[in-house]
Amino acid sequence: MKVQNKVLVVTGGGNGIGRQLVLELLRRGAHVAAVDINENALQETVQIAGNLASNLSTHIVNITDQAAVEALVNQVIKAHGQVDGVINNAGIIQPFVKVVDLNYQQIDRVMNINFKGTLFMTKAFLPTLLQRPEGQIVNLSSMGGFLPVPGQTLYGASKAAVKLFTEGLNSELLNTNVRSTVVFPGAINTGISVNSGVMTKEQQASMDTGKMKMTNPDQAAKIIIDGIEAGKTRILVGSDAKFMDFLYRLNPQRAARFIFNQMGALLK
């Protein structure tokens, strides 16, 4: 789907990849409804958008609140007149600890935001998208959604759920005008680990000095939107995601050991 003159909803639009998706969509002539739970972050996105903000609306929504998500559909239509696509980008990571050390509140928070939030947004907007000449659903999974990462097992489980949900949805929609795309970002330099309080700045910096370099969020956004416009149903973001996708298909055990050697030191 070409994004020019289309209306797309982007969750997590206040920072990281989400903000860059909003900005890149606006540059390409799309109209955007940016969704985030953080009002200040959304306003920063508006300020950065500058003159392009005339095609941007902001919506403060907790995507784990089913009623709020369902109400969002009419809010976006009121602001833009239509909805052509949804990019479910919002997500969080877990503390870098083993499953045995995670409490149930942490587990619920990760699963609710990463999977249920994506599910609620998809369910809410899909009926409207099916009425459009063409529609698009884009769900961000993760490299950790197909590859076991020590200390991020629950995060990986939530993103694996997003992966299979999106792939199943794509099969269900084959004879419709709506397409679904799953995205697998590798390590993205968004500061999510530091902002979530699960990693120090030193640890974050050490990850970027290893064999797999981080991708900048603006570059990630361009890759994702290029993939959408090319009609891809599966998008890998970053050289690390591409490499690990290849290695995991070739030798899952070797791939898991490789990631353990890279990430194991983060476990306490």
Closest CA relative to residue 139, chosen from 86, 182, 187, 193: 182
Name, in order, each residue with C-beta under 8 angstroms of 24's C-beta and a sequence gap of 6 or more: 218, 221, 222, 225
**Structure tokens of 36?**
């985030």
Amino acid letter for position 10? V
For residue 32, report the phi and psi dihedrals to the nearest 5 degrees: -130, 135
User: Are 184 and 143 a contacting pair, CB within 8 Å?
Assistant: yes
Beta strand ranges found along 83-157 (DSSP E): 85-88, 135-140
Which run of H or of E encompasses 171?
helix 153-172
Spatial separation of the C-alpha atoms in residues 157 and 145, rounded to whole Å: 7
User: Are 56 and 79 a contacting pair, CB within 8 Å?
Assistant: no
Strand order through the sheet with 31-36: 56-60, 31-36, 7-11, 85-88, 135-140, 178-185, 234-237
- Catalytic residue numbers read 155
User: Are 24 and 138 a contacting pair, CB within 8 Å?
Assistant: no
Spatial separation of the C-alpha atoms in residues 3 and 54, rounded to whole Å: 16
Bridge partners of 234? Answer: 182
Amino acid letter for position 54? S
